[in-house]
Structure 1
Amino acid sequence: MRILHTADWHIGKRLHKHYLYQDFDLFIGWLCDIILEEKIELVLVSGDVFDLANPSAEARKQYYQALLAIKNLNCKLIITGGNHDSPSMLDAPKELLNALDLNVIGGLPEKIEDCIIALPQSKNPEIVIAALPYLRDADIRQASDGNTYEDRLKAMRTGIQLKFDAAANWCEKNYNGIPAIAMGHLYAAGVSTSESERDIQIGNQAAFKAEQFNGYFKYIALGHIHQPQQVKAKVPTYYSGSPIQLSFSERKDEKRVLIIDTEKDFTPKSITIPKFRNLKKITGTLEHIKNKLTKLTWQGTLTTLIEIELHEENYSLKKLAELDTLISDFSLPNFEIIKHRAQFSNQQLQTGDVFSGKQKLEDLKPKEVFESLLNQESYLPEEQIELRQTFDELYELLHTTD
Structure 2
Amino acid sequence: MKILHTADWHIGKKLQKHELKEDFALFIEWLCATIKSQAIEVLLVSGDIFDLANPSSEARTQYYKSLLKLRNLNCKIILTGGNHDSPAMLDAPQEILRNLDIEVIGGLPQDITQTLILVKNKAGDLEMIVVALPYLRDSDLRKGNEGVSYDDRVEAIREGIANTFKAAEALCKMQFPNIPVIAMGHLYTAGTETSDSEREIQIGNQAAFQASQFGEYFKYIALGHIHKPQRVNALVPTFYSGSPIPLSFSERKDEKRVLIIDTATGWEPQSISVPSFRKLIRVSGNLSQLAQSLNNLPGHDGLDHLIEVVLKEPKYDAQKIYQFDQLTSQFEKSGYQIVKNYTDFDENLQGTSALYESNQQLEDLKPKDVFIKLVDQQDLNQEDKQDILSAFDEILEEVQNPINS
Aligned to 1:102: 102
State the shift of 1:216 in Å: 1.2
* 1:74 counterpart = 2:74: yes
Correspondences of 1:2-401 after superposition (within 5 Å): 2-120=2-120, 124-299=125-300, 301-348=302-349, 350-352=351-353, 360-401=361-402
**Residue-by-residue CA offset, 1:228-249 (whole Å, 9 max, x unaligned):** 0000111000000000000000
Cα separation, 2, equivalents of 1:28 and 1:300: 20
Q: Is the 8 A contact 2:3 2:40 kept in 1?
A: yes
State the shift of 1:319 in Å: 0.7
Cα separation, 2, equivalents of 1:370 and 1:144: 26
State the shift of 1:282 in Å: 1.4
C-alpha distance 38-391 of structure 1, shift in aligned 2 (>3 A): same
More displaced, 86-95 or 341-350?
341-350
Cα separation, 1, equivalents of 2:357 and 2:188: 34
Paired residue secondary structure (2:12):
coil
Q: Is the 8 A contact 1:16 1:363 kept in 2?
A: no
Q: Is the 8 A contact 2:150 2:386 kept in 1?
A: no
**Residue-by-residue CA offset, 1:135-160 (whole Å, 9 max, x unaligned):** 00111111231110110111101000
C-alpha distance 260-200 of structure 1, shift in aligned 2 (>3 A): same
C-alpha distance 297-92 of structure 1, shift in aligned 2 (>3 A): same
State the shift of 1:263 in Å: 1.4
The amino acid that maps onto 1:270 is S
When the two structures are aligned, how many residues end up with a matched partner?
402
The amino acid that maps onto 1:115 is T
Q: Mark the runs of 5 or more structure 2 residues left unpaired by the alignment.
A: none
Cα separation, 1, equivalents of 2:357 and 2:263: 55
Paired residue secondary structure (1:281):
strand
Q: Give the aligned CA root-mean-square deviation in angstroms.
A: 1.9
The amino acid that maps onto 1:88 is A
Cα separation, 2, equivalents of 1:22 and 1:60: 14
The amino acid that maps onto 1:326 is L
State the shift of 1:95 in Å: 1.3
State the shift of 1:86 in Å: 0.1
Cα separation, 1, equivalents of 2:282 and 2:325: 17
C-alpha distance 143-7 of structure 1, shift in aligned 2 (>3 A): same
Cα separation, 1, equivalents of 2:378 and 2:196: 27
More displaced, 308-317 or 113-122?
113-122
TM-score of the pair, normalised by structure 1: 0.96
C-alpha distance 251-72 of structure 1, shift in aligned 2 (>3 A): same
State the shift of 1:205 in Å: 0.5
Q: Mark the runs of 5 or more structure 1 residues left unpaired by the alignment.
A: none
Q: Is the 8 A contact 1:315 1:347 kept in 2?
A: yes
Determine what percentage of the aligned residue pairs are the same residue. Answer: 53
State the shift of 1:356 in Å: 12
C-alpha distance 333-89 of structure 1, shift in aligned 2 (>3 A): same
More displaced, 385-394 or 20-29?
385-394
State the shift of 1:290 in Å: 1.6
The amino acid that maps onto 1:52 is L
C-alpha distance 266-325 of structure 1, shift in aligned 2 (>3 A): same
State the shift of 1:190 in Å: 0.3
Q: Is the 8 A contact 1:354 1:361 kept in 2?
A: no
